[in-house]
Structure 1
Amino acid sequence: MARPSGRTARIKALRKLCSSGAIVHIADAAKQLETSEITIRRDLSDSDSGILCLGGYLMFASDNGERYSLSHAQGTNTQAKTEAALQAATLIAPEDTIFIDCGSTLPHLAARVPQNANVTVVTQALNIAEIIARLEGVNLVLLAGMYHAESGSFSSETALKMLKEINITKGFFSAAGVHEKEGVTCFHFHEVAVKRAAIARSQRRFLVADPSKWGKLRPATFAQLNEFDDWIGRPA
């Protein structure tokens, strides 16, 4: 690519690189534009370009800057989320103690937890707890604390202490973004500590994320892909 002259030309070139939702590392962009990373960062900070630099990656702000809404997410990609949940549900066995993460995908799993099989469900998510509480013969451990309406989940130091005392046989984790290099991400930093603690306490760990999440990068990284035993719902 010929070196674009001037801020306006560079912004135009960056927008072209990020077209169709592409995520581009700033070093690669600098090489293609024959300029420096510092220049690109300055261009983006001094203008309303619509391009966001997050964790060293460039993307359209509309792809990563929106506020997460649990109520809205519950109505999107329902079929793909259900299919991923159905696959995950086959992994639950009698006597299991499982962690079910927050979000809009895993309620489809919660509804399929086998009843009267002495399964214990640990969760920090209100929507998961509400489903589990209606199932017969399923034990519920709610990791309570400060409630965050935007994610429908709780967080607290007490929740982290509770997790240290629970032996989780299988953990099922959701994500708002799955990126090959930057890892598994979510929108909210308050989710990270509980997710990390649950990962540490789980004997087996499963990422449950429908294909729309792959290739996305969200603000808070909570895991790397190699920390999971399987990735359920990934694109074919």
Structure 2
Amino acid sequence: MLTSQRKLILLDMLKQDGKVIATAAAAALDVSEDTIRRDLRELAREGLLQRVHGGALPASPAMGDFAARQHIAIDDKSAIGRAAAHLIQPGQVVFIDGGTTSAQLVQHMPQDLHATVITHSPSVAVGLSTHPGIDVIMLGGRLFKHSVVNMGAATVEAIRQVRADIYFMGVCSVHPQAGLSTGDYEEACVKRALSAAAGETIVLASPEKLATASPYQVIPLEELSGLVTVASVPDELLEPYQQRGIAVHLA
């Protein structure tokens, strides 16, 4: 069998089963595990899947930069932002992540809401600059242009001085086994610090992020309080989160 044919079969397995197990794929294709692992590495370099221990998971289409992600699932993100905004209670201290879905959350925050928002996203801060009842605190650091957020040691140190009620997290990928993950190591560190400093962590997950994986884990699923997505997501995709006691909010 040609390498190209074998790779197509592996991608079909991934599409059908939502994962590729290297040992099972090697047996099914009558080749060595080393051959399968090499194929998976090459497919990962092409951005067609995400390598994990023992095999591969679907890669997230949300790995592009901020500008590219603005054109993905626009209606879904708007609905998610609206639903998430109604989870904020008056007087709360809220961490809001950067990202295109967070931008929608900001747009849908009620004008009569009084709360404090702490963010490392210049876009979120500017989006709330005309909101009459929201106090905005900016976390400094080096601007990570890919995601338009501040990052680095100064950002993490500032986060450690705060105890927020809730953190609205944006990530590239949400998966029952791989947890929450993203495409940049330092960005994952900042998100992890925000989660640790909040009473609750709620992830904003448009459908293309579900059941996918990215290179750097932020937190395991057990540390997640809630998930906001759209009602059109199939029940079988949401069931693993509900079984773990994670509150699923449908927009």
Given candidates 55, 58, 61, the residue that maps to 2:56 is 58
Going from structure 1 to structure 2, the CA distance change for 1:176 and 1:91 (only over 3 Å counts) comes to same
Report whether the alignment pairs 1:30 with 2:46: no
Counterparts of residues 33-182 of structure 1 (less than 5 Å)? 33-43=29-39, 52=49, 54-56=51-53, 57-58=55-56, 63=59, 68-115=64-111, 117-182=113-178
TM (normalized to structure 2)? 0.79
- Give the drift of 1:231: 1.2
CA distance in 1, matches of 2:226, 2:42: 43
Unmatched tracts of structure 1, length 5 or more: none
CA distance in 1, matches of 2:45, 2:127: 43
- Give the drift of 1:36: 3.4
Aligned-partner residue type, residue 197 of structure 1 = A
Which protein has the larger Cα radius of gyration, Structure 1 or Structure 2? 1
Going from structure 1 to structure 2, the CA distance change for 1:66 and 1:36 (only over 3 Å counts) comes to farther
Conservation of the 8 A alpha-carbon contact between 1:86 and 1:109:
yes
Going from structure 1 to structure 2, the CA distance change for 1:19 and 1:82 (only over 3 Å counts) comes to same
Conservation of the 8 A alpha-carbon contact between 1:26 and 1:37:
yes
* Between 128-137 and 88-97, the greater mean CA deviation after superposition: 128-137
Tell me the number of residue pairs that the alignment of Structure 1 and Structure 2 aligns.
230
Conservation of the 8 A alpha-carbon contact between 2:44 and 2:50:
no
CA distance in 1, matches of 2:3, 2:207: 36
Match of 2:243 in 1: none
Match of 2:195 in 1: 199
CA distance in 1, matches of 2:104, 2:44: 40
RMSD: 2.8
Q: Structure 1 vs Structure 2: percent identity of aligned residues?
A: 23
- Give the drift of 1:196: 0.5
Going from structure 1 to structure 2, the CA distance change for 1:121 and 1:76 (only over 3 Å counts) comes to same
Conservation of the 8 A alpha-carbon contact between 1:70 and 1:151:
yes
Match of 1:224 in 2: 220
